[in-house]
Structure formats: C-alpha cells, structure tokens
Amino acid sequence: MSRKSVLGAFCSGNGALETTTRRIACRQQQHQRTFTSTASRPATHITHFTPTSSEKLDTLLNTIRHKIILPAYLPAKQRKIIYSPKHEKKLQSDPITIEIDGEVLKFRHMDPFQGDIPAARKSLIDAVSQFDAPEDFANLKPLLEGVHYTKYRLDPSVYAKIVRICGARGRIYQALECARAARTTGLRLDTSEKANEALHFVQLKALDADYDPAETARALRWADRVIDMLADPQHQPTRRKKAVRLVRGQHPLDRDPQVLLARLHLAAALAKNPPEAAEEAAEAEVEDKAAATAAAAVARIGRGALVQRVGEYAHTIVKLWPRTGDSEEGEPKKLRDLQPSELYEDENQMGYLLEANKFVTLAAPLLRGLDLAAEVLRSEADDKSAYAALAGQLEARRAVLDVEIQGARKSMSMKPKGSGEPMRGEEMYKRLFGQPGQ
C-alpha cells in the first residue's frame, strides 16, 4: 500500500481507515493460503463398512477406506497436494478437510513411494480372502463399489478370483448380486472365465444340496439371470470404453454352448426331481426362503413344462455346437474348439481353459448335465420321437467331451508330485463320477 493511500485514509476519517485495514488483512490471508476446505462436496454415496467377525479384517477394511477409497472423493488438485512431499509439513498442522455426505474427512500427506498407500489389487483380494461369516460378506458390495469409485484399473483375473473365493465360501449369489449392479461395483461378467466360474458355483449350490428341488430351482433361476446379464450392455466386453468386436466365428457369451450347458444341467436335474405341489414347495423347510419361492414357481408349471424347457435348451446347444465339417455324419467338435483358435492365445479370453486342472473343474459338471438331459429326454420319448433324436445328439457331444476331459485328466496325473497345483479338477470329477473306470 502506497504512502499516499495511507495518508488519504487518515484524512478521510475512521470509516475509510477501517475499510483499508480490512483490505490489507484480506491480502495477507491470501498470501498465507490454507489447504483446509470446509465446503460440502455433493456425493450420492460414500463407502462405509460394518463390523466384521475379525478385528484383523476390520483393520484392513479401515485402511482400504482411508488410504485407497476416500482420497478419490477429493478434487484432483487436492489429491496432488496430499501426495506431494513439499506439502508434508504443512499438512501435519493444516490437513485438507472436506465434508462429504455429512461426514467430515481430514487428509494429511501420504507418500506413494514409501508404502503409505497400499496396492488396491492386493488389498482387495486380501480382504475378500478373509471373508467368512455372513457379517463379513455384508461388506462385499460396499468394498467393490468403493474400489470401483477410485477408477483403479483392475485386471479381469482379479474379479474372476473374487468370484471363485465367494463361490468356494458358498456365497456365489452375493457375488452375482454385485454383478447385477456392475455399473457401481465394477464386477462385470464380460469374460468367459468370469461367466463360467460363476455358473460353475451356481451348479455346485444344487450339487451340494443333492439336487434338492428347492435349491435346484433357485440355482436354475440364477443361471437364467446370469445368461440374461451376459446379454446386457453393461456386461459386454469393452476396450477403452468401446465395445469389443467379435472375431469371425466367435460365440457371444450368452450364446456360448459352454455357458448354456450349465443351465441345461440344472433344468435336467430339476426335471428328474421336480418340486411337489406349489403349496408344499412354498412351505418347504429350507434355509433360504428364496429357494422355496423358486421351487413354488417351478411346481406351478409342472414337470411337463420342465421337460419342454430341457428340450428347448438342448436344441439350442446342439444348433450352436456343430459337428466337424458341418455335416450330420461328422463327429461333434471338442468343447475347446467351439471358439476361434486365436482366442485361446489370450488368457483373458479363452486361454484359461488350456490349463488342464481348470478345464476339468469346469467341464465335469457339464458332462454330468449332458447325462441328465439325455436321460430326461429319453424317458419322455419313443424311438421315433424328436426327443429321442435330440437325446442322441446330446449323447454324441457327451462322448466327445468325455474324451476331452479324460485327456486333460491324464495330463494332470503326469505332473510331478509336489508341483503345488491343487487338483481341484480331479476332486470334482471323482465327486461326480467316482474313481477312474467307474
């Protein structure tokens, strides 16, 4: 401020002096800028976790929330400040403060190069791996939503692993509920591995219940939902936010015979052991009322309608699963020959099926489904009926798939002892078909 303006202020009286003093103070405050921001930032939802069964898991979720998820709610300029070393001391005494959704959050310096920020991928897998009790899985959707909000780019294999973990813990339906909200959770069934792992565990829900009609009806309902999801735009494969074009001869996931075989398996199992009358099915003593509801719905349509569904599903699969040379006399193609060969060169496409252990794991229940479907159709057919011919078509494909599975099992048995690979596939095969040769 110039000497002339100061003299002018004195000459103009106390009011002018007070105005000038306020201007000086304001300029000084601008030079001594604070990082604090008390303005509320609009947010429709902010991630919260509920208590889990483990103190260790509570701590991990709290770390993920404060060090990975919440910084994503800051404007980009303020995020740069908390990650910048030159602002470390300033932020200790004057943290960035922001109110989001009624919660006041304070952010101090975090050094990405000194381990202050945990890796999102590892932290996500570590957390889900610790989920066990129902109260743990109550945090699955908030966790996926929070990490997805950060816009961290996660490999499709991360979500496939989450599906496997949930399935192995008997929580596949909760994972699929997250998939139904893919736009907020990021869990998209946009690869063959994710779709078929999900359907594998849906089939296991029926198998684990010894094909109990109520549980099988519920599993069939979820298989239908998965196939519907695969046709939904939010589950379509994308690259840089653009839809990925199918290569010549490629089946989209909702028309892939491997996917459709899972639904055929469950429909055939239900047709062989249908629910009783709708009233009895509704009153069935099952742990989850959703299973009773599904069973009641199936009971109302009757076994005849179930057999018809098996026939329709089988007809679609036969149509999409051609014989070699596209002739009626040729042998059906192998399951791993149904998609173009170039897709098997990519682990995120069909390459995962080249691992023998995984192939046997996923294919064994499908083989069982072909057995059941052929039995159902033959039980309703005479020698000249369409059902008999359709059963024969399924049996031909069953024979080819069996040879393919036996070849994969043989390659698994040749692995050296102590190789460390879990023989998940062999366990699944023996569970369904007994010891070799039986």
> To the nearest whole number, what is the mean pLDDT of the chain?
84
SS3 label, residue 155: coil
pLDDT digits (tens, 9 = 90+) for 185-243: 999 999 999 999 999 999 999 999 999 999 999 999 999 999 999 999 889 877 655 55
pLDDT digits (tens, 9 = 90+) for 269-298: 999 998 775 445 445 555 567 777 766 776
Cα separation, 107 vs 109, in Å, equals 7
Concatenate the DSSP letters of all residues of 175-236 into one string. Answer: HHHHHHTHHHH-----SHHHHHHHHHHHHHHHHHTTT-HHHHHHHHHHHHHHHHHHHSGGGS
| Mean pLDDT computed over 81-108 | 81
Distances (CA, A) of 243 to 236, 240, 352, 356: 7, 8, 22, 30
Provide the pLDDT for residue 288: 62
Provide the pLDDT for residue 367: 99
Concatenate the DSSP letters of all residues of 69-110 into one string. Answer: IGGGGS-HHHHHHHH-GGGHHHHHHS-EEEEETTEEEEE---
Helix or strand (DSSP H, E) at 40: strand 40-41
Cα separation, 368 vs 214, in Å, equals 20
Q: Does pLDDT of 326 surpass 90?
A: no
**97-106, 277-286, 416-425: which has the highest mean pLDDT?**
97-106
pLDDT digits (tens, 9 = 90+) for 69-88: 998 888 888 888 888 778 76
Torsion angle of C-alpha atoms 8, 12, 16, 18, degrees rounded to 10:
90
Q: Does pLDDT of 397 surpass 80?
A: yes
pLDDT digits (tens, 9 = 90+) for 162-175: 999 999 999 999 99
**Which DSSP symbol is given to 41?**
E
**Which DSSP symbol is given to 323?**
B
Which residues fall within 8 angstroms of residue 146, CB to CB, at 6 or more apart? 47, 64, 65, 68, 69
Provide the pLDDT for residue 236: 83
Return the residue matching tokens 């069982």. 368
Q: Does pLDDT of 37 surpass 90?
A: no
**Which DSSP symbol is given to 431?**
H
Query: Residue 257's pLDDT band (boundaries 50, 70, 90)?
Result: very high
Provide the pLDDT for residue 29: 43
Query: Residue 22's pLDDT band (boundaries 50, 70, 90)?
Result: very low
Contact of 136 with 52, CB cutoff 8 Å: yes
Cα separation, 72 vs 151, in Å, equals 8
Domain boundaries, the chain: 3-33, 35-127, 233-433
pLDDT digits (tens, 9 = 90+) for 306-319: 999 999 999 999 99
Closest alpha carbon to 408 in 370, 345, 371, 361: 361
Cα separation, 389 vs 385, in Å, equals 7
